[in-house]
Amino acid sequence: MTVTVLLFASYADALGMRSMAIDFAPGATVRDVISHVRALPGAERLPVQPLVAVNETYAKADRLLNAGDEVAIIPPVAGG
């Protein structure tokens, strides 16, 4: 199954991209997505447990994913 991963701000700059499509076996979780992304070149500055949102809602690392989910890795927010 394919999930879309979104990157923003400092994380997008670090990896040099804003989004990617990644294939996972069924049963994959948010944790698997983080492991995959943290292994990419430039990902050294991503924390071990970054904030993550699945389909626009904050989610925990053990959240199960479905095909077509949008997984956003959220840098420390700084609005206001």
Partner 1 sequence: MRTALVETPIDIAAITAEVGRSSNGATLVFIGTVRDVNDGRPVSAMEYTTYRSMAARELNDIVREASQRFGTTDIVVEHRLGALELGEASVAIAVAHPHRGPAYDASRFVIEQLKARVPIWKLEHYIDGTREWVGAGSGKGEAGSGVTAGEVR
What are the residues binding partner 1 (CB under 8 A)?
A: 6, 8-10, 13, 44-51, 53, 56-61, 72, 74-80
Closer Cβ to partner 1, 28 or 52, answer by number: 52
- Say whether 79 sits in a helix, a strand or coil: coil
- Say whether 38 sits in a helix, a strand or coil: helix
Closer Cβ to partner 1, 28 or 72, answer by number: 72
Closer Cβ to partner 1, 26 or 80, answer by number: 80
CB-hemisphere CA count at 13 Å for 72?
A: 12
CA distance 65 to 80: 32
